Amino acid sequence: MTALAALTNHQIRLKARPNGLPTRDGWDFTTEPVAEPADGGVLVKTLAISLDPAMRGWMNEGKSYIAPVAIGEVMRAGGIGEVIASKNPGFKVGDVVSCTPGVQEYCLIAADQIKRNGLFKIDTRLGTPNQWLNVLGMPGMTGYFGLMDVGQPKAGETVVVSGAAGAVGQTVGQLAKIKGCRVVGIAGGAAKCEWVVKELGFDACIDYKAGNVKADLKDACPKGVDIYFDNVGGEILDTVLTRLARGARIIICGAISQYNNTTPVKGPANYLSLLVNRARMEGIVVFDYTERFPLAVAELAGYLKDGRMKSKEDVVVGMATFPETLLKLFNGENFGKLVLQFA
Amino acid sequence: MTALAALTNHQIRLKARPNGLPTRDGWDFTTEPVAEPADGGVLVKTLAISLDPAMRGWMNEGKSYIAPVAIGEVMRAGGIGEVIASKNPGFKVGDVVSCTPGVQEYCLIAADQIKRNGLFKIDTRLGTPNQWLNVLGMPGMTGYFGLMDVGQPKAGETVVVSGAAGAVGQTVGQLAKIKGCRVVGIAGGAAKCEWVVKELGFDACIDYKAGNVKADLKDACPKGVDIYFDNVGGEILDTVLTRLARGARIIICGAISQYNNTTPVKGPANYLSLLVNRARMEGIVVFDYTERFPLAVAELAGYLKDGRMKSKEDVVVGMATFPETLLKLFNGENFGKLVLQFA
């Protein structure tokens, strides 16, 4: 294993907490030598990382469901890698794994960090590495448990999902279709909406950039909205609140419209619709469901295999593009789950 | 029954939809002769009516959980009355009943309106007429089903209720104490807060007028808020959102702080706390639980009888004071459930 000493680990670290959109000068590009794992540890070479809206939240100070990334720390990111050195009997060189490598080429995971890092061997017969970052990964799990456990869809109900072309949105919408629901997406731009309907098979998709969300929702959801899976917050959440069906469930998964705000978050002024419609708004954090991931993965992999579900990734190659590629999420440029492939 | 013809029915009708607080010139004082009931009908003499924050909502145009009061219509109000003429075998002269008489001295209820009007004979052994407007009436039922069905309290949890001295608040807080919870009220003014603790037995009560709700909540709820029963909305809801415990339930019962707004409702900017804390915010409308009212009444009447619960009413006498007495709710002047007794 002496070859490891010849490798250089390129890393991207958080230099300063952003105010608004994270810009390139907020990142530090560093290098480190690559070290061998100690007893029980594993060294992973990053193949690809997942770029997710939640990353923006990790860059802020303050209490959340997970600790913020510290200034000077390698930026946190989930990803897929290959084991290139192992002193752990559970992992061998060549294993393809899911883990939290961060934005760096090599990730050394000590024995006592394996669980915390989320390291596990993936079954590439169930899906490609990129699919393991998408429908079979955290976004897919978030969509699955948010829709099924919090939303509790019934056949015939109308499900609306924002961020429809994103990783969570595509899982939610396709899964809701499989469960017999009418599915309406919300996305930005006519081309993306067409893609959501044609490629992902949604019944309809509303272009929020066209500026008629309220009227479009009325047309697309004549019986009102039974389930709203919210990835965006802001004005869109507020508008969907005006179209709830009685007993509606709103899953609060994220609020990408608010993450780069330099002004306070805008609360949903129409929240009293929850009262009028005996409706519910509930948050989901995917880490609460880790014990049930294998069952959800098995179900979703089955749908991928029989063609009832697609896993769409928007793949950008090159770790050095990270600062700009991340912004594609916030500018709504990605068609499908945004993946940063390292080589 | 010819004596009825000699009676005059004094009424208060909605003259104009208010902008902000409802003022006296928005009401019409009218009189009508009193008519005999037709076959199957009942004539009720109003003894007292319930004044509730929800009445403000009924005065607005637009879709809600119940139709608005029309301009020129007798103002809707729940109340207690005495049957003074009956052509219905289910009711006899002298029966004390709960119904929706409106703000008028006499209410003629036709056979086909009995169910819609909510007319039923009350058991005065279980509680006084005023208690039947409070803990045993709609506010009590709202508190009962909101807390028990939506909130699902567990012994040892911390329950916070705003509008603590009001009709719903007093039921929620006392019931939560009986169920083994730590109970913290929110009310306006030191005197009222003291009353909530001493008279109603809450563990603590926060004076929102003192301006330190956030710090006071932290002191009063060191383990966070498991259940928040919200009667007020606005800033207080937003502040409580910052103190949620994991898995918290927020019951949206009303938003008295917003009902007289002439500006748009302020949405809860901190709603993403629902995500971080895997918490839920859900609306309740008491009419959904009518079939289970008798069971809840029996339980609450038992607590009144054994002294574990008090039913506190703030009684004002004189129907003509209605326009001003109603405002006591919105000015927070009532200690206990506000009742307008007719004579």
Kindly state the percentage of chain B with pLDDT values over 90.
Answer: 91
**CA A319 to centroid of chain Cα atoms:** 18
Inter-chain CB proximity B272 and A258 less than 8 Å: yes
Tens-digit pLDDT profile for residues B144-182: 999 999 999 999 999 999 999 999 999 999 999 999 999
* Closest by Cβ to B64, choosing from A276, A278, A288: A276
Q: Which residues, at least 6 apart from A95, have a Cβ–Cβ distance to it below 8 Å?
A: A82, A83, A86, A121
DSSP run (H or E) holding B10: strand B8-14
What phi, psi does A81 have (nearest 5°)? -145, 180
Q: How far apart are CA B10 and CA A334, in angstroms?
A: 67
- What is the number of other CB atoms lying within 10 angstroms of the CB of residue A294? 11
What pLDDT does B3 receive? Answer: 77
Name the 3-class secondary structure at A48. strand
Reported as a single tens digit per residue, the pLDDT across B54-77 is 999 999 998 778 899 999 999 999
| Per-residue pLDDT tens over the stretch B245-297 | 999 999 999 888 888 888 878 889 999 999 999 999 999 999 999 999 999 99
Mind telling me how many Å the CA of B66 is from chain A's nearest CA?
9
Residues of B in contact with A273 (CB under 8 A): 283
pLDDT greater than 80 at residue B1 = no
Q: How do strand B120-121 and strand B106-109 relate by DSSP bridges?
A: unpaired
Q: Could you tell me the pLDDT band of residue A97, with boundaries at 50, 70 and 90? A: very high
Q: How many CB pairs under 8 A join A and B?
A: 105
- The residue in chain B having the minimum alpha-carbon distance to the alpha carbon of residue A151 is B280
The stretch A8-25 carries a mean pLDDT of 95
* CATH code, residues A2-134+312-341: 3.90.180.10
Distance from CA of A268 to the nearest CA of B (A): 4
Quick: pLDDT tens for B214-238. 999 999 999 999 999 999 999 999 9
A259: which chain B residues are within 8 Å (Cβ-Cβ)?
A: none
CB atoms closer than 10 angstroms to residue A305: 12
B65 in contact with A, Cβ within 8 Å: yes
What are the residue ranges spanned by the domains of chain B? 2-134+312-341, 138-287
**pLDDT tens readout for residues B175-200:** 999 999 999 999 999 999 999 999 99
Indicate whether A2 pLDDT > 60: no
Global confidence as pTM: 0.91
Q: Which residues of B touch A280 (CB under 8 A)?
A: 280-283
Q: B63, B235, B282: which to substitute to probe chain A, counting the most A Cβ within 10 Å?
A: B282
Which CATH number applies to B138-287: 3.40.50.720, 3.30.70.20, 1.10.3720.10, 3.10.450.630? 3.40.50.720
User: Which chain B residues are Cβ-neighbours of A275 within 8 angstroms?
Assistant: 65, 252-255, 283-285
Q: What is the DSSP string of A99-167?
A: E---SBSEEEE-GGGHHHHT-EE--TTT--HHHHTTTTSHHHHHHHHIIIIII---TT-EEEEESTTSH
With contacts defined as CB-CB under 8 Å, which chain B residues touch A239?
Answer: none
Q: Is the pLDDT of residue A270 over 90?
A: yes
Residue A165, helix vs strand vs coil: coil
Collect all residues of chain B within an 8 Å Cβ-Cβ radius of residue A243. Answer: none
H or E element that contains A131? helix A129-132
Question: What pLDDT score was predicted for residue A259?
Answer: 82
Q: Chain B contact for A244, CB < 8 A? A: no
Query: B58 at the A interface (CB within 8 A)?
Result: no
Average of per-residue pLDDT across A96-110: 97
Q: Give B197 to chain A, closest Cα distance, Å.
A: 28
- Can you give the pLDDT at residue A3? 77
| Segment A147-166 mean pLDDT | 97
**With an 8 Å Cβ cutoff, are A269 and B269 in contact?**
no
The per-residue pLDDT of chain A, averaged, comes to: 95
Q: What is the pLDDT of residue B152?
A: 98
